[in-house]
Structure formats: C-alpha cells, structure tokens
Amino acid sequence: MIYVVPFLILITIVVFIHEYGHYYFAKKYGVGITDFSIGFGKEIFGWNDKLGTRWKICWLPLGGYVKFFGDRNVFSESEQTNVINQYSEKDKNKLFILKPLYQRSIIVAAGPLANFVLAIFIFLIINLIAGKDMTPAVISEVQKDSPAFVAGFKKNDKIISIDNRKVESILEVSTFINISTSENIKFIILRGDQQISLLVKPNVVQSKDSLGNPSKKRMIGIKLAPLNNKFNKRSLGPGKAIYYSVKEVWFVTVTSLSYLGQMLTGATDTSQLGGPIKIAKITGQVSEHGLIPFFSVMAYISISLGLINLFPIPMLDGGHLMFYLFEKVLGKPLSQKTQEIFFRIGLFLLISLMFFVTLKDLKDLNLF
C-alpha cells in the first residue's frame, strides 16, 4: 500500500498532460469541451470552469478523457446529418466532427505528443540539475572462461560502442547489452591507441534488477569500475541538456518498439512486460530513492503512454488517426458500422492485453 500514493501521483500527472494536449488544441480550434476527467467511473470531486467544462477526478485512476461537445468520442461519424441538425449554427461551430481533417488529426495526436514533451522536459530538468555521467567504460576485470574472455576482452580495454551505439558512460554498458537484439553483440573497444572489433555471445541468466525485482539479464562476464571509484558527472548547459533529453526519449522509443517487435515475432519473451500493478510497485520502489529516480520513471512511463496511444488500434489515439487516414484516402469517413466493428476489435485487444499483463503482474508477485 505504501506504493499506492507515489503511483497515483505519477499516473495523475502523466494522464493529465496527455489529456491536456487534446484539450489545448481542441480549445485552439474552437471545439467545445464538456468534460476533462482524470480517471473513469464515478466522480470523486470536480468543478465547472467559466467556459462550461467540468473538471473532475474519478475513482478508477488508470486513464482519463476529454469529452467534446456533441460527441460520444473523438472519431469521425459518417452518418452526421441527424447529429448536426440538432444544433444551432453557433453550436455547430463547436462540434468536433465538423472541424477540418487536419485539425481533428492534430487534436488527437496532441495527447501522445504531449507525453513525449513531458518526458523531454523531465530529462531536461534532470540534466540541468544533476548533470550527466560521462565516466569512461573501462574494463577492470574479465572473468575467466566467460563469453568476454572467450571473445578476447582484456583488462583496461575501453568500450567505445555496443551494436553501433556509442557508449558515453559506464552506466550505459549494461543497458546496451540487455537491449541488444543480436545473438552476437558487436563491441568496439579501445586497446591502447588501437580500435578493435569483438563479437560476444552473452549468457542469459535469471537475476534481479537494482530494485530487487526478478529479471533476465544478458551477461558477458566483465566488471567495470570508474577510475579511483569516482564517477565523472558533468554539468550541462541548456543546449546540451536539450540534446541529451531528446536523445534519451528517442532511444527509449526505438528500444521499446524493437522489444515489442521481437515479442510479437517470438524472438524474445514477455519477462519485461508489465501492467499497472508492476508499474505501481516500481514507482513505489524508486520513490524511496529520491525525486530524480521518481521523475525519471515518470518520464519513461510518459513515453510508454504516448507510444502505446499512437498504435493503430481502435479506441486509442492511433486508431482514430488511422480512421482519418482512411478518410483522407477515400475522400469520406468510413461508415459508422465499419468503425463500430473496428472499435469492438480494439476493445477486445485492449481487454485481452490488460488481462494478460495483470495476470503476469500477480504471478510475478507470487500472489497465485
């Protein structure tokens, strides 16, 4: 239960920013907004602003929504005549379904994009306050008969890149090894003044992450240590801080897509996949280590929320954008019946995924 409060704070901020992205551009383009909700279900408390929008917090905090004037949802309705004729000319100007296609697309895409902006902002603040670790990744020990030993690694080798990803910090080595999709990982190391390319086939072992949670890791059998056990933290100016913030968001996005692709093709397992229970647990664990780890996790969750919402699945923002693409190509919206079929499929997929990750979370917690 001690993890609940940090989780609720995190998810409320992330969901609010997502929904505010929709809200901001809807207001910009003159769309009427009746509700701005954090959570689903029965309202806990709320208030009306001077423009008539009901701002509210509801009991089920796993999401939120912005409800547009005259709309059940944010998708285009093809049979619009009966709906439109119910409104006066003044009210018609507030209808989402009558806005140009590009405006509807921007409004829908603004939610996920707001999540990416939030992540960039969080990383930016962290980089400005805490700086960035630039400790060289120098090997202090190569375990005998390990994959690294067999591949030819030696003590004092400096790791330059892993699978063509430049290594700028000792802290990146474990991450790059574990996200590699290759059976044999390509290392570029600096030995003296000579660059050498080495291929290593890692061992996959059952281990625990830094928070004590079970995880599978790819290990090659090396130990890294900073010179004199001192990490090289460098303060960053605004320009470099923005650069590294955008780079981190891009890295997490590409890595997440790569992992999902491997999972769908059977190239990797679902050991790293988690749902709300796992997120709540990790959020609570990192919150015990301070604000920077907590906000770092918030940035990662924000990226995940933005990315998932861009998937072309009906009921998600990406599904609405898919409908708009069809509308652009066909010159008219899909029929209401066709859209409803897609939405039923999307609902089934989302419920199935939620059921799967929840069962997995409970199993990981040894609750059954």
Select from 218, 234, 250 the last residue of a domain. Answer: 234
pLDDT value, residue 206 = 75
My answer on whether 123 and 168 are in the same domain is no
Q: Give a yes or no: residue 24 inside a domain.
A: yes
My answer on whether 146 and 100 are in the same domain is no
My answer on whether 8 and 107 are in the same domain is yes
pLDDT value, residue 36 = 96
Active site residue 168: no
Query: Is 174 in contact with 118 (CB distance < 8 Å)?
Result: no
pLDDT value, residue 276 = 66
My answer on whether 142 and 118 are in the same domain is no
CATH number at residue 152: 2.30.42.10
My answer on whether 118 and 140 are in the same domain is no
My answer on whether 171 and 212 are in the same domain is yes
Select from 216, 234, 252 the last residue of a domain. Answer: 234
pLDDT value, residue 7 = 86
Q: Give a yes or no: residue 140 inside a domain.
A: yes
My answer on whether 25 and 87 are in the same domain is yes
For the chain, the helix, strand and coil percentages under 3-state DSSP, each to the nearest 5: 50, 20, 30
pLDDT value, residue 75 = 42
Q: Give a yes or no: residue 257 inside a domain.
A: no
- In angstroms, the Cα distances linking 61 to 9, 13, 119 are 10, 11, 20
Select from 234, 259, 285 the last residue of a domain. Answer: 234
Q: Give a yes or no: residue 81 inside a domain.
A: yes
My answer on whether 124 and 140 are in the same domain is no
Q: Give a yes or no: residue 268 inside a domain.
A: no
Q: Give a yes or no: residue 100 inside a domain.
A: yes
Q: From CA 368, how far away is CA 358, in angstroms rounded? A: 12
Residue 256 tokens, joined: 């997440």
* Prediction pTM value: 0.85
CA-CA-CA-CA dihedral for 336, 328, 65, 347, to nearest 10: 50
Q: Give a yes or no: residue 290 inside a domain.
A: no
**Strands, DSSP E only, in 131-221?**
132-133, 139-142, 158-162, 165-166, 185-191, 194-200, 203-208, 214-219
Domain of 166 in residue numbering reads as 133-234
My answer on whether 118 and 163 are in the same domain is no
Looking up tokens 């059921």, which residue turns up? 355
My answer on whether 8 and 64 are in the same domain is yes
* Residue of 19, 77, 172, 248 with catalytic role: 19
Q: Give a yes or no: residue 274 inside a domain.
A: no
pLDDT (tens digit, 0 to 9) for every residue of the chain, 368 residues total? 667 888 888 999 999 999 999 999 999 999 999 999 999 999 999 999 998 899 999 998 888 999 998 775 434 444 566 667 777 788 888 888 889 999 999 999 999 999 999 999 999 999 999 888 889 999 999 999 999 999 999 999 999 999 989 999 998 998 898 888 788 999 999 998 899 999 999 988 876 665 566 667 888 999 998 877 778 888 888 999 999 999 999 998 988 888 787 777 766 666 666 666 677 777 777 777 788 889 999 999 999 999 999 999 888 899 999 999 998 999 888 877 888 888 888 888 888 877 777 776 666 655 45
My answer on whether 170 and 194 are in the same domain is yes
Total structural domains within the chain: 2
My answer on whether 185 and 201 are in the same domain is yes
Of the candidates 281, 210, 209, the residue with the CA atom closest to the CA atom of residue 3: 281
